[in-house]
A and B are shown apart, each in its own frame.
Chain A
């Protein structure tokens, strides 16, 4: 079976890769493009460790087929910081100890980024429901939620450029 050639934009850069027709986008990102930030925790869309943003939508990359990325725009955790500084969410996660083992962290960062793009001033409950699709086994979510709320306030006061 010959492989499919996909061209898309990843984290603002032009990208291309080869993939099988039934290969997941997660596997393509990790194995073909070399972006290993998104993780496979379950392969069935239940844990959110593979969260990415594709064409503006928060998705589980394990549930998308790699060829679906053709012509699309993909954002992963590797592209969250800009040249000069970390994303406020990244800074907040560090400063508020919102990670322990760190395996779920890329997924939470992307999911929170997606939330704050849609709802820049969420309540605690809104944050909890927005990230309910991301599993964390280490933290009990307390510090993650606090970090997202802090980052939301920071972003309201100091909007990121671009």
Chain B
């Protein structure tokens, strides 16, 4: 099913890395015993419920909780007065203002208060008795509305960052980002063809099947223990402590199994509320969001408006790239526009570039990361325009990309990579071109679309502890929540370093007191950076194991090699000692064998993915059916190929959902009309074909196993791949996502003008 193309220059053969053992946490996931946050119970536990704003934009004039507090079963109520604004921010100054509304509510669903009661029903009924007086304000729900002259302001005193001299008046543009290189006017003068178009995308939700959930147990000693669903429990600890004004060490966070995140669980929503309610009630408090709350009040990805202009010579060489990008950020500013700026032209060598990217406030839930955030929308624009150009100059879509593709030594204008080390972009393009699917003939109303995507991947800090047991096994404890099978990859890397079977490795995710600080599982960093920490710890253990062997053999450590899990005497003077034989004698040779590894990682490689979508358009209904889908991605080295394939396929499915069906629909009052899975339509099994995966292995020279982050880039190409395929099928260019049946039909029925 998946072909692994190997880099001819660097061929490594591993014994454990690259195999496909059953994942260590698999049994509990298939027998119902795995404990997700909503499954956790504690004695005397009570339940919390949040009161949310019914308005998209309103002043809070007063809140009266007296009646609610007197309701049966109620043990505690909290409002903003329980959470004074922290004096110091921990990198996200807006979080404490988003997590509970203070002077204003700035989106429908924003938290206004919370109640804890003996049963969920009692908590709900009491929350309904909290009296909030609102003064409704006009809301801005789109980029156009937010940027209009005299638009109502989401924040009355916000002056746009990044503009010099400063703007005189406040506006809804939180930040303006600019990037330039070469001379854009000269670049367009040199072009034989120039294409420019505007694109738009709606907000999309990560759609993790598990709603946010946590259980907090605050003791009379001022310490709280939190079980939660999160991509980063150390982040939960610091963010919760910050919002409460507590020392970080007063909070312990235990990661439950997490039911999907995709970036949406890289922040907190419920935890400070639960901790405070628990403190006031002196009982453990569990809080679980409903699906409705997840849609209205967590963090979808921004809607966008993007304008791209590309100039090429007759031979397909790109001479100039200009982009104007506007990203919504929701009710508080984020960095989404900046990320779009970094990704829009990242795949290509363009000598003259000019990019302006605006962060725009709207009265919608605060956007948060969603799998390669901001990149898919930018790729939608660039890759569609490139497809138009290829059709115009009659050049194969893969050839035009190969001609312009970045490679080792090129400077990455996205600013997030610097100079490219060895990368696999061209290899992914060639893998698609060489795949038999590229030649499958297409029938009427069928089309094929190609697109390429980039994601920079991050590194950050990780810690790992590896303890050897008396009977020769290794317990590998890391701080990276497992959102895609990373425990299995940690076990494989440990197995490779120690030379023992992966079955003898027990990979665990430790809580904030059991393992060293580890940054959030995001940015495709876990296998790369946490893997490095595991490797470091195992390398220290190998040193210790050799020292113990030298004690047992009464020889010098220099006489010993570590081979395939055993100490081997270089001159064959002793029969080799296995790891298990050494650990069995650990007490006699110096005590337990444990080691830690920690680092602020560097040298992560970017990810590239090229994808090919074959689809059929039904001209009567506008329905698009995906016939075949092929994805080629540079994974560096696939530690556990099944889970690399899984990441690739998952990203594709999500991107197809964005392309065809998913969108936030708001009415004119700013209320979300489709906060459920019936009408927020994510792909189901009958929508999808098998997804053919090609893992291209161009090892990252900066990692001992050549690892490159794989989790995110897969979601970047589908939007343009689908759009390009629709054009190939029925000759219409769609530039607004989702390309739902309604939009496809409208374009088909139009007389002129969307052909290109």
Contact = CB atoms under 8 A, between A and B. Distances in A.
Q: Do any CB atoms of chain A lie under 8 A from CB atoms of chain B in the complex?
A: yes
Interface of A: 20, 30, 35-44, 46-47, 49, 76-78, 80-81, 86, 90, 93-97, 99-106, 109, 124-125, 127-129, 131-146
A144 B685 contact: yes
B677 A44 contact: yes
Given A94-B22, A143-B646, A134 B654 contact: no
B29 A105 contact: yes
Closest 5 CB pairs of A and B: A37-B32, A103-B259, A140-B653, A102-B29, A97-B642
Nearest to B652: A140
B31 A90 contact: yes
B227 interface: no
B30 A35 contact: no
B34 interface: yes
Given A140-B653, A143-B649, 19 more contacts: A40-B38, A46-B677, A46-B678, A77-B32, A86-B30, A97-B645, A99-B29, A100-B646, A100-B650, A101-B483, A102-B29, A102-B259, A103-B260, A129-B686, A139-B646, A140-B650, A140-B691, A141-B685, A142-B690
Between A42, A101, A141, the greatest number of chain B beta carbons within 10 A of the residue's beta carbon is seen for A101
Given A41-B211, A99-B26, A138 B484 contact: yes
B682 A137 contact: yes
Contacts of A106: 30, 32
B209 A136 contact: yes
A115 to B, nearest CB: 11
A36 B645 CA distance: 29
A135 B657 CA distance: 12
A41 B291 contact: yes
A41 B260 CA distance: 11
B209 A139 contact: no
Contacts of A77: 30-32
A55 to B, nearest CB: 20
User: In terms of DSSP, what is the predominant structure of the interface of chain A?
Assistant: loop
Contacts of B646: 97, 100, 138-139, 143
Contact of B34 (A41, A102, A109, A128): A102
B411 interface: no
Contacts, number: 173
Given A99-B26, A104-B209, A129-B686, A137 B650 contact: yes
Contacts of A128: 685-686, 688
B32 A139 contact: no
B643 interface: yes
B453 interface: no
Contacts of A35: 32
Interface string B22-55: 1101110111111110110000000000000000
B682 A135 contact: yes
B291 A44 contact: yes
B650 A81 contact: no
Given A46-B676, A137-B208, A142-B690, A132 B32 contact: no
Contacts of A103: 36, 208-210, 257, 259-260
B623 interface: no
Most buried by A among B207, B258, B260, B485: B260
Interface residues of B, number: 56
A105 B33 CA distance: 11
A99 B34 CA distance: 13
Contacts of A20: 121
A46 B680 CA distance: 10
A123 to B, nearest CB: 12
B731 to A, nearest CB: 29
A101 B259 contact: yes
A100 B484 contact: yes
B652 A94 contact: no
B685 A134 contact: yes
A108 to B, nearest CB: 9
Contacts of A105: 29-30
A100 B685 contact: no
B13 to A, nearest CB: 23
B30 A99 contact: yes
Given A106-B32, A134-B685, A101 B258 contact: yes
Given A77-B31, A137-B207, A140-B688, A97 B643 contact: yes
11 contacts: A39-B36, A41-B209, A97-B23, A99-B29, A101-B257, A101-B483, A102-B25, A103-B257, A125-B686, A136-B685, A140-B691
Given A43-B291, A101-B484, A81 B685 contact: no
Contacts of B683: 140-141
Contacts of B209: 39, 41, 47, 49, 101, 103-104, 135-137
